[in-house]
Amino acid sequence: MCAWLRAEAAAGRLNWRHIAIDGKTVRGAVRPDGTQPHLLAAFDVTAGTVLGQADVQAKTNEITCFVPLLHAILTSPRASSTAASDGSHDGDGDGDGAGDEEELVIVSADALHTQAGHVEAMNKLGVSWILDLKDNQPGLYALADAHPWRDEPVLHATAETGHGRHEIRAIRVTSQVPEGITGRFPGTAQMMLIERYRHQVRGSAATAACRAAGDDPAMAGCAAGAEISCETVLALTALTPAQASPAFLLARNRGHWGIENGLHHRRDTTFAEDASRLRAGQSPRLFASIASLTISVLNRAGLANHAAARRDLAWDRTGLQALGLLGL
């Protein structure tokens, strides 16, 4: 199913694509040994489709499944013709992503996967990467955190008001990467500091004031008396300044969570996966795969409300609408 989705997504492809990798536990299901199934998925954020999914066995973890999953979706004979398997990527990372043969593939993952082995594998595959840096790499985190970030200007910021909160995201970027980091993660071209400011908003007048304040991190004029929370994220990337602007990097950082909102949340809510009590064999993985296929097809068709789309398809007794979505 994922091979078919990869082939379908190749048509009309942008000259870059963003693959987010993240895992999810099927909380309602139980294996015969009493453990819960855990699935690691690769989600094409640019197309909204699932490219591959690996079953994380009970005696292993996501880290050991990361590289095999990447190889499966990028070097498999059934992979997209634009992937690295055709040899079009020479792995030097100097391309600008222009043209089909120079497609820029960007892989993002959370801090669990900020591992030297993962970086080495992605460099060999000729893909670029964006990885968070947290306390699971304490020495490297301290090196990145020691950079004089306050001397770096905010190069891009975005503001969003909705769902009862005002949120501002700002990014600072530097190409001055310490040797301790490049030695551990070869190919690191830039470090990023991303700051997220938010406060609660109630009422139309407060919402209007927040929109007028725009992307000012101080939130002057709209957050008087409100508690402003700030979250900072340090990240590393193989993307060079010529390949990715600060605005692009900030968008990719946020886009990574498309796998959470666009795939995992939908499997939980629309398909009630966490409420599932499946037990037999590979049935939890099978039904997760079917849900992922359905989500991918609906995303590709531009249908944002999946629950409503599934109801409409159910009322079509001819089945022609569903066949149309599959290109049949």
Residues 141 and 89 in one domain: no
Q: In what order do the strands lie in the sheet with 128-133?
A: 49-56, 38-44, 16-25, 104-109, 128-133, 229-237, 190-200, 165-174, 156-162
Query: Does 246 map to a domain?
Result: no
Query: Does 126 map to a domain?
Result: no
Which CA distances in Å does 236 have to 40, 152, 175?
22, 16, 10
**194 token code pair:** 């991303």
Residues 106 and 147 in one domain: no
Residues 2 and 89 in one domain: yes
Q: Mean pLDDT check: name the lowest of 54-63, 73-82, 101-110, 112-121.
A: 73-82
- What integer pLDDT is reported at residue 99 of this predicted model? 37
Look at residues 217, 241, 265 and tell me which one is the last residue of a structural domain.
241
Tell me the backbone φ, ψ of residue 239, rounded to 5 degrees: -70, 130
Which residue do the tokens 């993240």 mark?
Answer: 22
Q: Measure the CA–CA gap between 29 and 32, rounded to whole angstroms.
A: 10
Query: Does 14 map to a domain?
Result: yes
pLDDT band at residue 143 using 50, 70 and 90 as cut-offs: very high
Average pLDDT of the segment spanning 119-128: 94
Residues 1 and 106 in one domain: yes
Q: Measure the CA–CA gap between 138 and 144, rounded to whole angstroms.
A: 10
Q: Measure the CA–CA gap between 308 and 297, rounded to whole angstroms.
A: 14
Query: Does 156 map to a domain?
Result: yes
Predicted confidence (pLDDT) at residue 159 exceeds the cutoff of 80: yes
* Furthest C-alpha separation in the chain: 64
Residues 140 and 168 in one domain: yes
Q: Mean pLDDT check: name the lowest of 201-215, 216-230, 295-309.
A: 216-230
In terms of Cα–Cα distance, which of 88, 122, 91, 92 is closest to 102? 88
Predicted confidence (pLDDT) at residue 142 exceeds the cutoff of 90: yes
* Domain range for 163: 132-241
pLDDT in tens, 280-326: 667 777 777 788 788 878 877 777 777 787 888 888 778 788 878 77
Query: Does 250 map to a domain?
Result: no
pLDDT band at residue 93 using 50, 70 and 90 as cut-offs: very low
Residues 94 and 156 in one domain: no
Residues 210 and 276 in one domain: no
Residues 236 and 311 in one domain: no
- What integer pLDDT is reported at residue 192 of this predicted model? 96
pLDDT band at residue 81 using 50, 70 and 90 as cut-offs: very low
Look at residues 241, 269, 299 and tell me which one is the last residue of a structural domain.
241
Query: Does 70 map to a domain?
Result: yes
Domains: count for the chain: 2
Residues 216 and 270 in one domain: no
Q: Are 91 and 199 in contact (CB under 8 A)?
A: no
Q: Measure the CA–CA gap between 36 and 27, rounded to whole angstroms.
A: 6
Q: How many CB atoms lie within 10 A of CB 98?
A: 11
Residues 148 and 53 in one domain: no
Query: Does 249 map to a domain?
Result: no
Residues 271 and 215 in one domain: no
Tell me the backbone φ, ψ of residue 192, rounded to 5 degrees: -130, 145
Average pLDDT of the segment spanning 64-92: 62
DSSP β-ladder status, 229-237 and 104-109 = unpaired
Average pLDDT of the segment spanning 38-62: 83
Residues 280 and 236 in one domain: no
Look at residues 206, 241, 276 and tell me which one is the last residue of a structural domain.
241
Predicted model pTM? 0.74
